[in-house]
């Protein structure tokens, strides 16, 4: 049978198996409608926030429930784009994502590799030592004191070093390394490679899918993290984006001040514009990387 014929045969089989031949009943339409309503419930709050961010204050005050824009205004975005706070927040956040993920991956891969090797004496001891930290910690004040004594207060390092390894991500990578056939390692060793060479020349390329997934998890984590910076950073120019956003949203005292033209700004509009400013990168990238996140949860679910 030719390849094309095989494909056609397969398609036919799948067609029957998956129910293409079935007629759509009432239940099918009911399901479609329920799922659509739920999707609208997820989307509307974002849409409403967007409408508020491009509206005038009068439109907002007359009724915040809108289905389409009423009186357009770009002032909120003007305020946001000219705000030094948000811009420096963006730079700090990009810095922490790039450098942070690099450090995360190095630490995670090293730990994951060594802990997946049977010839590492003390594997069980180190594993247990790490597992315990999932369940037990010192608490807020001891952690705070530790960071202060390391001199990390108001240091960009506090955004990167204390979160260098996420234990769950590390275990994900470790389990993947563990499932790689021993022959691959042995072949590399016969060729005279040491462990560092084996790891980076053999294991890392093979494990690239899972490493990409873990890297994305770390990247989102860095983009969204706010509590560490909330505790340890009070210098304005070092605050990451989420912290700046939090101040705009939660602390009523701090705001971005008047619009560039000098009029008092429309607070709600500026809040919503800042939210869009902060989540836009995640929003744009997410549809393309969704499958990697889903793969992560599958691997984790099967192994853990």
Under rule CB under 8 A, which residues in 165-194 are in contact with another protein? 165, 182, 185-186, 189-190, 194
CB-nearer residue toward another protein: 206 or 279: 279
Shortest Cβ 105–another protein spacing (Å) = 13
One residue of 2, 3, 5, 17 binding another protein per CB under 8 A: 17
- Binding residues for another protein restricted to 274-303, rule: CB under 8 A: 274-275, 278-279, 282-283, 286-287, 290, 293-294, 297-298, 301
Interaction of residue 92 with another protein, rule CB under 8 A: no
Closest distance of CB 17 from another protein, Å: 6
Applying CB under 8 A, the site for another protein has a residue count of 98
Distance from C-alpha of 45 to C-alpha of 49, rounded to nearest angstrom = 6
- The nearer residue to another protein, 81 or 120, going by C-beta atoms, is 120
CA 38 vs. chain centroid, Å, equals 23
Question: Shortest approach of another protein to residue 258 CB, angstroms?
Answer: 21
For residue 72, the cross-strand partners are: 55
Residues in region 51-70 near another protein by CB under 8 A: 52, 60-61, 63-66
Q: How far is the CB of 79 from another protein (least distance, A)?
A: 16
87 scored as a contact of another protein (CB under 8 A) = no
For another protein, what does the binding mask look like between residues 232 and 271, x meaning CB under 8 A?
Answer: ----------x--xx--xx-----------------x--x
């Amino acid at each position: 049978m030719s390849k094309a014929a095989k494909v056609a045969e397969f398609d036919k089989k799948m067609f029957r198996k998956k129910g293409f031949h079935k007629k759509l009943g009432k239940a099918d339409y009911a399901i479609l409608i329920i799922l659509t309503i739920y999707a609208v419930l997820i989307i509307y709050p974002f849409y409403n926030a967007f409408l508020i961010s491009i509206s005038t204050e009068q439109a907002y005050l007359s009724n915040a429930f809108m289905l389409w824009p009423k009186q357009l205004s770009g002032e909120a975005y003007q305020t946001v784009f000219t705000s030094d706070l948000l811009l420096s927040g963006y730079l700090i956040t990009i810095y922490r994502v790039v450098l942070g993920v690099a450090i995360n991956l190095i630490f995670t891969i090293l730990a994951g590799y060594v802990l997946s090797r049977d010839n590492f004496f003390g594997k069980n001891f180190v594993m247990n030592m790490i597992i315990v930290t999932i369940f037990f910690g010192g608490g807020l004040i001891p952690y705070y004191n530790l960071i202060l004594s390391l001199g990390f207060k108001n240091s960009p390092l506090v955004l990167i070093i204390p979160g260098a390894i996420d234990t769950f991500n590390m275990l994900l990578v470790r389990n993947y390394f563990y499932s790689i056939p021993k022959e691959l390692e042995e072949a590399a060793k016969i060729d005279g490679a040491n462990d560092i060479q084996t790891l980076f020349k053999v294991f890392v390329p093979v494990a690239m899918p899972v490493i990409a997934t873990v890297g994305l998890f770390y990247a989102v984590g860095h983009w969204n993290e706010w509590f560490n910076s909330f505790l340890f950073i009070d210098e304005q120019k070092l605050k990451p984006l989420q912290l700046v956003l939090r101040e705009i949203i939660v602390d009523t005292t701090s705001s971005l001040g008047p619009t560039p033209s000098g009029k008092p700004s429309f607070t709600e509009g500026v809040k919503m514009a800042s939210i869009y400013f902060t989540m836009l990168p995640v929003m744009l990238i997410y549809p393309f990387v969704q499958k990697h996140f889903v793969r992560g949860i599958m691997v984790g679910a099967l192994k853990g």
